[in-house]
């Protein structure tokens, strides 16, 4: 019997994602100037206000206020009518130094013995369901919002009323053996201008204007957004999932003018399922944004995804979950766990696969940092539309500082998505 599975995503203008992007942009500024910085930056955004908190040890000074304002303006909060904009919002900075009790377990004279920055369990996952080895529901949920943001930013946008805040939700029908059959439901909630005004001050006139706005948005979503996303999935052979009878729900409350940090307070780290696998895989509970790679709840999740993706791509299994666990101040992982859901293609138990992984990958915090080149300013780009399933690429980023003249730096984004261990894994597992 078939079953339904649902994942959601949120746009870069969602309050929690605004907070994530500010935290990661501040992290990038420190990493660009002092790659050994220890950063744990938390952000709160609400009506007209940004609060920065956390612990940072670094040899450089960063203008965190300017960084936060740049991010807010880049996202699109640039108008007073949003009740939150980058030029006028207040910023309270309560960042202080990192605890010496934590730092003593991380910094070592021998970098190879660098301890984990905290205890915890971290998961990585991959599946052959899509070309980027991500579960289809979260992949499609992200794609819808990426395209919606592109439409919002178009010079002559066919949807000129769009505002930055948005959410998506996708329900996929699967067969008994886990194959996606069709899209059952797509939900799009998007913030918008009050672009149709009532003819009078009566409730009936307001309801009529609200209904007209809703009908226009729903029509435009079906006319402009869905075809753009469907075209992308045609390129990877999944357009057949867009049947004629899928349900499309647009702004189900009927109106979404009040949004962003004015409509809802945002906090760093509240969208950890959006950031990962949309609920299709386990999650250890640790957030990513604002944390330097000594914090294994970030770096070890990247490492676990890198392992799972390369293992699936090499043909070890069609689906794989990898769990890593660490103790604060200890370099080697406490445990490695693998689950292949009965979809393995090698004559080994999941426990034996886990032991083989330990012999192939250096899973010490320093080893992960070096293999994935994590001590670069690469994190702001991760803070919206998911940390996984993205295209690894080199880009040039621009930085400004009180310490030196403005400078450009070439960095590699999403290195944990590279399929650079496939050949070695095939050799180790005897896959031809």
Q: Is 42 annotated as a binding residue?
A: yes
Q: Is 408 annotated as a binding residue?
A: no
Q: Is 14 annotated as a binding residue?
A: yes
Could you give the CA distance from residue 184 to residue 236 in angstroms, rounded to a whole number? 19
Q: Is 271 annotated as a binding residue?
A: yes
Q: Is 55 annotated as a binding residue?
A: yes
Where are the alpha helices (H) located in 221-349, listed in sequence order? 226-235, 260-263, 272-275, 296-314
Could you give the CA distance from residue 391 to residue 371 in angstroms, rounded to a whole number? 17
Helix axes 296-314, 365-372, angle to 10 degrees: 60
| Structure-token pair, residue 60 | 């450089």
Burial of 202 per CB tally in 10 Å (0-12, 13-18, 19+) = exposed
Q: Is 16 annotated as a binding residue?
A: yes
Q: Is 255 annotated as a binding residue?
A: yes
| Structure-token pair, residue 367 | 């080893």
Could you give the CA distance from residue 15 to residue 258 in angstroms, rounded to a whole number? 12
Could you give the CA distance from residue 226 to residue 249 in angstroms, rounded to a whole number? 12
Backbone angles phi and psi of 297, in degrees to 5: -65, -10
Could you give the CA distance from residue 154 to residue 284 in angstroms, rounded to a whole number? 38
Could you give the CA distance from residue 316 to residue 331 in angstroms, rounded to a whole number? 27
| Structure-token pair, residue 212 | 């007209």
Could you give the CA distance from residue 139 to residue 385 in angstroms, rounded to a whole number? 9
Q: Is 295 annotated as a binding residue?
A: yes
- Output the known binding site for ATP: 14, 165-167, 255-256, 264, 270-271, 287, 291
Binding residues for Mg(2+): 16
Annotated binding site for K(+): 42
Residue set of the binding site for L-methionine: 55, 98, 264, 295
Binding residues: 14, 16, 42, 55, 98, 165-167, 255-256, 264, 270-271, 287, 291, 295
């Amino acid at each position: 019997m078939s079953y339904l599975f649902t994942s959601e995503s949120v746009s870069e203008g969602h309050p929690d994602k605004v907070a994530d992007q500010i935290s990661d942009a501040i992290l990038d500024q420190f990493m660009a100037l002092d790659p050994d910085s220890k950063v744990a930056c938390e952000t709160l955004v609400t009506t007209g206000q940004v609060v920065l908190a956390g612990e940072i040890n670094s040899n450089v000074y960063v203008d965190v206020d300017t960084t936060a304002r740049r991010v807010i303006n880049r996202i699109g909060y640039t108008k007073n009518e949003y009740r939150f904009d980058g030029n006028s919002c207040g910023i309270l900075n309560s960042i202080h130094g990192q605890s010496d009790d934590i730092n003593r377990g991380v910094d070592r004279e021998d970098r190879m013995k660098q301890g984990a920055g905290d205890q915890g369990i971290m998961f990585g996952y991959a599946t052959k369901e899509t070309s980027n080895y991500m579960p289809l529901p979260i992949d499609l949920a992200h794609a819808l919002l990426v395209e919606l943001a592109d439409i919002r930013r178009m010079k002559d946008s066919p949807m000129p009323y769009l505002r930055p805040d948005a959410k998506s939700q996708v329900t996929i029908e699967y067969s008994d053996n886990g194959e996606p059959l069709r899209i059952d439901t797509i939900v799009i909630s998007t913030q918008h201008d009050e672009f149709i005004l009532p003819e009078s001050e009566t409730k009936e006139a307001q309801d009529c204007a609200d209904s007209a706005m809703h009908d226009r948005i729903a029509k435009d979503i079906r006319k402009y957004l869905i075809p753009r996303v469907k075209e992308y999935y045609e390129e990877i052979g999944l357009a057949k999932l867009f049947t004629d009878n899928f349900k499309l729900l647009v702004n189900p409350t009927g109106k979404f003018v009040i949004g962003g940090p004015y409509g809802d307070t945002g906090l760093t780290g509240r969208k950890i399922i959006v950031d990962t696998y949309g609920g299709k895989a386990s999650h250890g509970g640790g957030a990513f944004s604002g944390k330097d790679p000594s914090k294994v709840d970030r770096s070890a999740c990247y490492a676990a995804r890198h392992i799972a993706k390369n293992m699936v791509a090499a043909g070890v299994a069609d689906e794989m979950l990898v769990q890593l666990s660490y103790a604060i101040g200890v370099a080697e992982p406490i445990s490695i766990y693998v689950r292949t859901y009965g979809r393995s293609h090698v004559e080994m138990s999941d426990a034996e696969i886990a032991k083989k992984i330990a012999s192939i990958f250096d899973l010490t915090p320093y080893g992960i940092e070096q293999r994935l080149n994590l001590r670069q300013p690469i994190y702001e780009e991760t803070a919206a539309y998911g940390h996984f399933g993205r295209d690894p690429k080199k880009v040039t980023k621009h930085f400004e500082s009180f310490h030196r003249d403005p400078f450009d730096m070439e960095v590699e984004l999403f290195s944990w998505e590279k399929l650079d261990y496939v050949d070695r894994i095939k050799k180790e597992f005897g896959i031809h």
